[in-house]
Amino acid sequence: MASYDLVIIGSGPAGYVCAIRASQLGMKVAVVEKRATYGGTCLNIGCIPSKALLHASEMFEEAGHGLEKLGVKVGAPKLDLKAMMAHKDGTVKGNVDGVAFLFKKNKIDGVIGTGRIVAPGKVEVTPETGDKQVLEAKNIVIATGSDSTRLPGIDVDEKRIVTSTGALSLSKVPGKLLVIGAGVIGLELGSVWARLGAEVTVVEFLDRILPGMDGEVAKQFQRMLQKQGFTFKLGSKVTGVDATGKTLKVSVEPAKGGDAEQLDADVVLIAVGRVPYTEGLGLKEVGVELDERGRVKTDDHYKTTVDGIYAVGDVIVGPMLAHKGEEEGVAVAELLAGQAGHVNYNAIPGVVYTRPEVASVGKTEEELKEAGIAYVTGKFPFSANGRARAMNATDGFVKVLADAKTDRVLGAHIVGPVAGELIAELTVLIEFGGSAEDLARTCHAHPTLSEAVREAALAAGKRAIHI
């Protein structure tokens, strides 16, 4: 029986990063993965393919509309969807091969097959073909991730009624795409297909988009998406999809009750959240408890209810984000090596990779109000930023929220060009416990978009220069 210091089940961002860190710290490590390639949801069917399509579709749209305003005439662009999908597939391959290379480099054993914990310290691996084997481990980390939430009574075929997985591989641009859920997946993948020519309608249960993000940002962003052609049906729910005819007939009702209407669609994308994935792991039998939402229960050090079994990533509490899982993977490896692994959950950025991007870190205004924390707000619009004007990308703003007494930055929210990159400096600031004044006094290169971030910090002290 092969014997290891650490066996990790799942090779997504939480699992593979944990494996590399544990190996760096001297542990003998195996990673069990049931998919044929490493990298989990993120690399195979999540972050990476979606960003490849977001970028490619943005270029397509830019060629059609944006470039002319800059004096670049290229004629009407032609879509080659097959080539776009090949770009996406190539991007995925490069990334998953990269993880396999990193396993080799770090002397990590990758084992393809489905893992099941048969006892503390023992993981049985069942490959699709061939013999089962049992791996012995001093410690086990569960990093099995999550799966798309389904809606009762609506059968997914991944062709016409799809989750994000099907929406990443449609064989043609749908005339009408109906998205259920105005969260991150709905808006990102809705954007991809809208740019390629689909008419996109988003049905959202709540009366706002992007729940959890700053309300003011979400409101402005919704207007921007509407300008791009999105139709939103907020405060509404889908009660059924009739797939018997050539066109899907979608029944939509007000969330609070009322008259139903029927909408036509060529494709329906279900994007109503994700659920932790623990199927077939044998958790109940070994005594690993789940919480009320099916997540593996852990203590602050990622230990489950059973000694020697830990869990990280989407399968435990917290935002379902790749970088959150990576941080936890590193932390648990360091804890197992006797070090002080730690994750600062206050400094985990969230980014929506649309155009413009939306990015956020720390507390929202709503959260600060609810907690009764007095704060000051500094805001700066991209329309007053020289670089944004030069780029013809002036939609949006930066908002910095600082403690009214201490000036410590508690949250930051951006909607605008490359918001996902700009948020990094605010994340570092929050990680270091920095103040708005610290940021305001830091010299920023001119002309850059990051000057808008600095100006928002200046505005928090009522001394912005350019507004």
Residues within the interface to ligand NAI (CB under 6 A): 151, 180-186, 188, 203-206, 211, 237-238, 271-274, 319-321, 351-353
* Given 8, 20, 22, 42, the residue binding ligand FAD (CB under 6 A): 42
Q: Tell me if 421 is assigned to a ligand binding site.
A: no
Pick one of ligand FAD, ligand NAI, none as the site partner of residue 33 (Cβ within 5 to 8 A by kind).
ligand FAD
Token code pair at residue 76 = 């009407």
CA 163 to chain centre: 15
Work out whether strand 409-416 and strand 357-362 pair parallel, antiparallel, or are unpaired.
Answer: antiparallel
Q: Tell me if 207 is assigned to a ligand binding site.
A: no
* Given 41, 304, 360, 450, the residue binding ligand FAD (CB under 6 A): 41
Please tell me the distance from the alpha carbon of residue 160 to that of residue 162, in angstroms, as a whole number: 6
Q: Are 111 and 30 in contact (CB under 8 A)?
A: yes
Pick the stretch among 43-51, 133-141, 290-298, 362-370 that binds ligand FAD (CB under 6 A). Answer: 43-51
Please tell me the distance from the alpha carbon of residue 44 to that of residue 158, in angstroms, as a whole number: 16
User: In which residue are the tokens 């270091």 written?
Assistant: 432
User: How many residues bind ligand FAD, per CB under 6 A?
Assistant: 37
* Given 21, 34, 88, 399, the residue binding ligand FAD (CB under 6 A): 34
Q: Which class for 292: exposed (0-12), middle (13-18), buried (19 or more C-beta within 10 A)?
A: exposed
| Of residues 12 and 378, the one with the C-beta less far from ligand FAD | 12
- Torsion on CA atoms 379, 380, 382, 384, rounded to nearest 10: 150
- Torsion on CA atoms 438, 439, 445, 448, rounded to nearest 10: 180
Please tell me the distance from the alpha carbon of residue 444 to that of residue 61, in angstroms, as a whole number: 31
Q: Tell me if 8 is assigned to a ligand binding site.
A: no
* Given 4, 6, 30, 40, the residue binding ligand FAD (CB under 6 A): 40
Is 342 a residue of the active site? no
Phi and psi at 207, nearest 5°, equal -95, 25
Pick the stretch among 7-15, 224-232, 245-253, 362-370 that binds ligand FAD (CB under 6 A). Answer: 7-15
Pick the stretch among 143-151, 202-210, 211-219, 298-306 that binds ligand FAD (CB under 6 A). Answer: 143-151
| Of residues 67 and 100, the one with the C-beta less far from ligand FAD | 100
Smallest separation, CB 444 to ligand FAD (Å): 26
Please tell me the distance from the alpha carbon of residue 177 to that of residue 181, in angstroms, as a whole number: 12
Please tell me the distance from the alpha carbon of residue 126 to that of residue 118, in angstroms, as a whole number: 12
| Of residues 302 and 375, the one with the C-beta less far from ligand FAD | 302
* Given 23, 164, 222, 360, the residue binding ligand FAD (CB under 6 A): 164
- Which of 301, 342, 446, 466 is catalytic? The answer is 446
Pick the stretch among 140-148, 253-261, 363-371, 447-455 that binds ligand FAD (CB under 6 A). Answer: 140-148
Q: Tell me if 313 is assigned to a ligand binding site.
A: no
Residue with nearest beta carbon to ligand FAD: 145
* Given 314, 334, 357, 365, the residue binding ligand FAD (CB under 6 A): 314
174 touches ligand FAD (CB under 6 A): no
Residue 426 per-residue DSSP state:
H
Pick one of ligand FAD, ligand NAI, none as the site partner of residue 211 (Cβ within 5 to 8 A by kind).
ligand NAI
Contact partners, residue 21, CB within 8 Å, separation at least 6: 329, 330, 333, 334
Q: Is the four-CA dihedral 202, 208, 213, 217 of positive or negative sign?
A: positive
Pick one of ligand NAI, ligand FAD, none as the site partner of residue 217 (Cβ within 5 to 8 A by kind).
none
Per-residue b or e along 168-189, where b marks 16 or more CB atoms closer than 10 Å to that residue's CB: bebeebbebbbbbbbbbbbbbb
* Given 15, 174, 356, 378, the residue binding ligand FAD (CB under 6 A): 15
Please tell me the distance from the alpha carbon of residue 358 to that of residue 38, in angstroms, as a whole number: 29
Smallest separation, CB 403 to ligand NAI (Å): 27
| Alpha helices in 156-242, H assignment, sequence order | 164-167, 184-195, 215-227
Site for ligand FAD in 370-399 (CB under 6 A): none
Please tell me the distance from the alpha carbon of residue 161 to that of residue 150, in angstroms, as a whole number: 11
Please tell me the distance from the alpha carbon of residue 193 to that of residue 146, in angstroms, as a whole number: 24
Pick one of ligand FAD, ligand NAI, none as the site partner of residue 137 (Cβ within 5 to 8 A by kind).
none
Would you tell me which residues interact with ligand FAD (CB under 6 A)? 9-15, 32-35, 40-42, 46-47, 50, 114-115, 143-146, 164, 185, 277, 280-281, 313-315, 320-323, 325, 353
**Catalytic residue ranges:** 446
